[in-house]
Amino acid sequence: MIRCLNDTRRTLRRAPRRVEFFQGTLAHITESEIDGVRIFDTTLRDGEQSPRTSFSYEEKRDIAATLDEMGTHVIEAGFPVNSDAEFEAVSDIAASTDTTVCGLARVVDKDVEAALDAGVEMVHVFVSTSDVQLADSMHASKEEAVERAVASVERVKDAGVEVMFSPMDATRTDVGFLAEILSAVDDAGVDWVNIPDTCGVATPTRFADLVREVRQHTDAHIDVHAHDDFGLATANAMAGFEAGAAQAQVSVNGIGERAGNAAYEEVVMSAESLYDVDTGIDTKRITELSRIVEEASDIPVPANKPVVGRNAFSHESGIHAAGVIENSDTFEPGVMTPEMVGAQREFVLGKHTGAHSVRKRLEDAGFTPDDGEVRAVTRRVKDFGAEKERVTTDVLTRIAREEGVEHEDDTEVRA
């Protein structure tokens, strides 16, 4: 039985987001284009398929526990038939979490049985549907694909378990055949239909059109799965929601096959901050979650990664830093703050630093500079940064001491 799509573990509606962002060119937007957003996390399945990535049993349990505690709607824990270790990990996660746990299965009897035996609450069955994958990967006819899909959906339904069906490579599949196979699994009672952009070739407008087309051929809930080969995964996921999808498959830090998937943090915060949708997820743990997955996957988070990169809330430019010191909304989105994702704002000292930032850093370090000393320290900081040297707190302290800037400890000593 499908759970209510509006279920959330946060019993109180969170405070409305600030809307300064919408006072300019977007002022005409008065209502969200999206009614609700559910998050299906596939970090432990598609994310682990990142080249050179393998999670240990303990790492899987840790990631799953954090996702569960944050209120993630579905956790795809793995591919149970893959190995004994994978089966055990999926089984343990299903038994130890409160959220819906999903297991992946090809439209093959042994895969489906392994997923059911693992005790998951949802089985995600998939089959290739594009001509190229049917011919050169699956080596099956369209008729065989439909037959196997229907049989697998019926088997999961007979077991009393929720079932999701994915026509793999949907965005490169003939629309007529896509309609045929989706209508067939719909008649078999499928609960969820996933639309995967397996090779990352969709664009937001085209993907939204595909979601609308799919809705004409199924009564199931719609889920979308976007890959990031052209950097459009998050945009495509949000376009899917705008077109009527109820859920998106994401991975933490966007890890996954090739260039990865729509990123958990980007989709959640886009929904929460730009669309004003309460996802029910504890966003204050997003940075913590990102760091856990970064360490376990051994895939470094780029400094300029949205939401969780170390530069996401950092400022060096003098104009930007001065504005943010006065009012953070000047050069930050306004509807997303570092506190909302469990991060901290940072003023970085370097070649582009201005006096306002230097003064703040000096005062934070306990110095009491006058205007002349701030100018002198700023010149030296700029010169140091121009040599591509990192201006750490120790470096700043040394420069301040050399320029004779008084420190509050000095006053206490004299007293």
The ranges assigned to domains in the chain are 38-297, 314-413
| Low-confidence winner among 118-132, 267-281, 395-409 (lowest mean pLDDT) | 395-409
Residue 318: band (very low, low, confident or very high) from pLDDT cuts 50, 70, 90:
low
CB 49 within 8 A of CB 18: no
Contacts of 375 (CB under 8 A, 6+ apart): 355
Residue percentage of the chain with pLDDT more than 90: 70
pLDDT of 62-114, one tens digit each?
999 999 999 999 999 999 999 999 999 999 999 999 999 999 999 999 999 99
pLDDT of 51-62, one tens digit each?
999 999 999 999
> Mean pLDDT in the chain?
90
What integer is the mean pLDDT of 264-285? 95
Statement: residue 210 has pLDDT above 80: yes
Residue 197: band (very low, low, confident or very high) from pLDDT cuts 50, 70, 90:
very high
Statement: residue 364 has pLDDT above 90: no
| Low-confidence winner among 95-109, 129-143, 334-348 (lowest mean pLDDT) | 334-348
pTM value is: 0.86
What integer is the mean pLDDT of 206-214? 97
Residue 412: band (very low, low, confident or very high) from pLDDT cuts 50, 70, 90:
low
Residue 3's pLDDT is 41
Residue 23: band (very low, low, confident or very high) from pLDDT cuts 50, 70, 90:
low
Statement: residue 390 has pLDDT above 80: no
Residue 324's pLDDT is 66
CB 40 within 8 A of CB 249: yes
Select the more confidently predicted residue: 414 or 36.
36
Residue 1's pLDDT is 38
What integer is the mean pLDDT of 132-159? 96
Select the more confidently predicted residue: 376 or 212.
212
Distance of alpha carbon 164 from alpha carbon 146, whole angstroms: 15
Residue 411's pLDDT is 61
CA distances, 194 to each of 11, 119, 272 (Å) = 28, 21, 22
CB 250 within 8 A of CB 197: no
Residue 20's pLDDT is 53
Residue 181's pLDDT is 98
Residue 396's pLDDT is 85
pLDDT of 153-192, one tens digit each?
999 999 999 999 999 999 999 999 999 999 999 999 999 9
AA letter at 211: V
To the question of domain 38-297 being in CATH 3.20.20.70, the answer is yes
